[in-house]
Chain A
Amino acid sequence: MKNRDFKDPYRENRIFTFRAILFWILMVALVCTLAGRFFYLQVMQHERYATASENNRVLLQPISPNRGLIYDTKGKLLADNRASQSLNIILERVDDLEQSLMLLQKLLPITEGELERFEKRRKQRRRPHEPVLLHSHLTEQEIAILAVNSHRLPGVTVEAELIRHYPFTKSAAHVLGYVGRINEKELKRIDPVNYSGTQSIGKLGVEKFYETQLHGLVGFQKVEVTARGRVLRVLERDDPVPGMDITLHLDSELQDVAELALGDRRGAVVAIDTRTGGILTLVSQPSFDPNLFVTGIDSKTYGALRNSLDLPLFNRALRGQYPPGSTVKPFVALAGLEYGHINWAHTINDPGWYQLTKGGRFYRDWKKWGHGKVDLALAIAQSCDTYFYELAHHMQVDDLHDFLWQFGLGQRISLDVAEAARGILPSTAWKKAKTGQPWYTGDSLNVGIGQGYMLATPLQLATATAVLANRGRWLQPRLLKSIRVDKDHIAELSSIEEVAAAPEDVKLKREGDWERMIDAMESVVHGRRGTAQRIGRDVSYRIAGKTGTAQVVGIKQDEEYDVKKVKERNQDHGLFIAFAPADEPRIAIAVIVENGGGGSTSAAPVARQVLDAYLLPKLAAEAELKERDKDKAEAASGE
Chain B
Amino acid sequence: MSSDFLRQLPRAAHAFQSKQHILNRLHIDAWLLLLLLMLCGVGLMVLYSASDQSMATVQRQATRFGVALVVMFVFAQISPHHYRRWSPWLYAVGVLMLLAVLVMGVGAKGAQRWLAIPGLPRFQPSEIMKVAVPMALAAYFADRYLPPRMKHVGLGLLFVMIPTLMIAKQPDLGTSLLICASGIFVLLFAGIQWRWVFGFGSIVSAFLPLFWMFLMKDYQKQRVLTFLNPESDLHGSGWNIIQSKIAIGSGGLNGKGWLQGTQSHLDFLPESHTDFIIAVFAEEFGFIGVLGLLFLYLLIVTRCFLIAARADDTYGRLLAGSLTLTFFFYFFVNIGMVTGLLPVVGLPLPLISYGGTSIVTLFVGFGILMSIQTHKKVLPR
Contacts and interface: CB of A to CB of B under 8 A. Distances in A.
Interface in B136-192: 144-147, 188-191
A3 B282 CA distance: 54
B287 interface: yes
B266 A16 contact: no
Q: Which of A4, A38, A232 has the most CB of B within 10 A?
A: A38
A272 to B, nearest CB: 61
Given A31-B298, A43-B287, A92-B235, A12 B248 contact: no
Interface in A48-67: 48-50, 52-54, 56-57
B335 A34 contact: yes
Contact of A42 (B267, B268, B287, B298): B287
A52 B287 contact: no
Interface in A1-36: 3-9, 11-13, 15-17, 19-20, 23-24, 27-28, 30-31, 33-35
B250 A46 contact: yes
B268 A30 contact: no
Contacts of B8: none
Given A42-B282, A49-B245, A50-B249, A12 B332 contact: no
Interface in B271-320: 282, 286-287, 290-291, 294, 297-298, 301-302, 305, 308-309, 313-314, 317-318
A9 B313 CA distance: 8
Nearest to A16: B317
Contacts of B253: 42-43, 46
Given A16-B191, A92-B235, A5 B267 contact: no
Contacts of B147: 15
Q: Which of B235, B250, B282 has the most CB of A within 10 A?
A: B250
A34 B298 contact: no
Contact of A20 (B189, B248, B263, B291): B189
B325 interface: yes
Contacts of A24: 301-302, 305
B291 A11 contact: no
A39 B308 CA distance: 32
Contacts of A128: 235
B339 interface: yes
Contacts of A43: 252-253, 287
B290 A42 contact: yes
B314 A27 contact: no
Contacts of A226: 266-268
A37 B245 contact: no
B246 to A, nearest CB: 5
B201 interface: no
B247 A30 contact: no
B251 A42 contact: yes
B335 A227 contact: no
A19 B248 contact: no
Given A19-B191, A56-B268, A227-B268, A27 B249 contact: no
Contacts of B309: 16-17, 20
B321 interface: yes
B24 interface: no
A52 B191 contact: no
A12 B314 contact: yes
Nearest to B147: A15
A30 B301 CA distance: 13
A13 B297 contact: no
B341 interface: yes
Given A11-B146, A12-B314, A39-B287, A52 B339 contact: no
A41 interface: yes
A443 interface: no
Contacts of B301: 24, 27
B107 interface: no
Say whether chain B's binding surface is mostly helix, strand, loop, or mixed. helix
A6 B145 contact: yes
A42 B146 CA distance: 46
Contacts of B286: 42
Nearest to B252: A46
A53 B290 CA distance: 19
Interface string A100-133: 0000000000000000000000000000100000
A16 B321 contact: yes
B336 interface: yes
A104 to B, nearest CB: 24
Contact of B249 (A17, A30, A48, A228): A48
A232 B235 CA distance: 22
B258 interface: no
B57 interface: no
Given A20-B309, A34-B332, A38-B287, A228 B267 contact: yes
Nearest to B268: A227
B282 A38 contact: yes
A37 B287 contact: no
B361 interface: no
A38 B248 contact: yes
A224 interface: yes
Given A42-B287, A53-B262, A232-B266, A12 B249 contact: no
A239 to B, nearest CB: 25
Contacts of A54: 250
B263 A19 contact: no
Contacts of A225: 266
Contacts of A16: 189, 191, 308-309, 314, 317-318, 321
Given A11-B146, A35-B294, A49 B249 contact: yes
A15 B249 contact: no
A20 B305 contact: yes
A150 interface: no
A228 B294 CA distance: 33
Q: Which of B146, B191, B246, B253 has the most CB of A within 10 A?
A: B246
Given A46-B253, A48-B249, A20 B332 contact: no
A607 to B, nearest CB: 67
Given A42-B251, A49-B245, A53-B250, A15 B290 contact: no
B317 to A, nearest CB: 5
A45 interface: yes
A31 to B, nearest CB: 5
Contact of A53 (B144, B145, B246): B246
A603 B281 CA distance: 84
A52 B266 contact: no
A226 B265 CA distance: 8
Contacts of B291: 35, 38
Nearest to A57: B262
Contacts of A5: 145
A211 to B, nearest CB: 38
Q: Which of B190, B262, B321, B340 has the most CB of A within 10 A?
A: B262
Nearest to A92: B235
B266 A12 contact: no
A54 B341 CA distance: 24
Interface in A222-238: 224-228, 232
Given A27-B328, A53-B263, A15 B146 contact: yes
A224 to B, nearest CB: 7
Nearest to A19: B189
A49 B189 contact: no
A23 B308 CA distance: 12
5 contacts: A16-B317, A35-B290, A224-B266, A227-B267, A232-B266
Given A7-B144, A57-B263, 5 more contacts: A7-B314, A15-B147, A42-B253, A52-B250, A57-B266
Interface of A: 3-9, 11-13, 15-17, 19-20, 23-24, 27-28, 30-31, 33-35, 37-39, 41-43, 45-46, 48-50, 52-54, 56-57, 92, 128, 224-228, 232
Q: List 8 A-B pairs, minimum CB-CB distance, nearest first.
A: A49-B249, A53-B250, A15-B191, A42-B287, A227-B267, A227-B268, A41-B249, A46-B252
Interface of B: 144-147, 188-191, 235, 243, 245-253, 262-263, 266-268, 282, 286-287, 290-291, 294, 297-298, 301-302, 305, 308-309, 313-314, 317-318, 321, 325, 328, 332, 335-336, 339-341
